[in-house]
Amino acid sequence: MRIAQIFTAPNQLTLLRLAFVPFVVIELLDGRYFWGLALFVTAGFSDGLDGLLARKLRQQTLLGQYLDPIADKLLLSTMFLVLSVLRKIPWKFTVLVFSRDISILAASAVLFAISGLRDFRPSIFGKANTFSQIAAVFFVLLHEVWRPRWITIARTTFLRATLAFTIISALHYILLVQHRLRVHAQGLAEPSAHEVPPAVNPS
């Protein structure tokens, strides 16, 4: 991996998103939910922008493929943890989010160690889960700033969606891991085209 990949515009934006995390936490712990919301929205905007720049500038890198989801997970997991500490999100949601992410990380490490698999692109359920988490955090923060009934309903809806998609995406990932391991095992079992077949002992 070339060090120059760090200095591409998309990866710089991703690193900037990582730098936002402690400042968002500080604002929330100090009770400044408006500024915490503003920083969270800015971080989310940078997430969309870095993907757009990577495609437009043709600066899609291996580092970016790993760094971008790490930044997303770190931001969202931190938000769920802090908001649960502040009693804005029930702990059951945070426990499920962390359990799913840790399990997927462990399974990915095992797959890489066993079979060398590196392709862990998110499924449609994983993308839906990420969207639900982002929306849930957004409306939880917005609810602390402005409290009309529709925001209360949206907050509850997306927290429940997060609960559902966390479970569904985790189960789907388990099935995907099993499928990839079966394919890998079948590939190892098939004789190589270059192998010489064993001699047949005539009866």
Single pTM value for the model: 0.85
Q: Tell me the residue type at 109.
A: A
pLDDT in tens, 5-50: 776 878 888 888 899 999 999 999 999 999 999 999 999 888 888 7
CA dihedral (192, 195, 196, 197) in degrees, to 10, reads -30
pLDDT given for residue 200 in this prediction: 41
CA distance 116 to 188: 13
Average of pLDDT values for 178-188?
Answer: 77
pLDDT given for residue 174 in this prediction: 84
CA distance 198 to 203: 15
Least Cα distance to 173 among 117, 110, 108 occurs for 108
Q: Tell me the residue type at 123.
A: S
Whether the CB-CB separation of 63 and 11 falls below 8 Å is answered with yes
pLDDT given for residue 203 in this prediction: 36
User: Among all chains, which residue has been given the structure tokens 């940078």?
Assistant: 46
Instruction: Say how many CA atoms lie within 13 Å of 72 toward its Cβ.
Output: 23
User: Which has the higher per-residue pLDDT, 173 or 145?
Assistant: 145
CA distance 175 to 173: 5
Average of pLDDT values for 142-168?
Answer: 96
Instruction: Say how many CA atoms lie within 13 Å of 62 toward its Cβ.
Output: 6
Residue 82 has pLDDT above 90, yes or no: yes
Average of pLDDT values for 78-87?
Answer: 97
Residue 43, CA distances (Å) to 93, 99, 119 in order: 22, 24, 26
Residue 64 has pLDDT above 80, yes or no: no
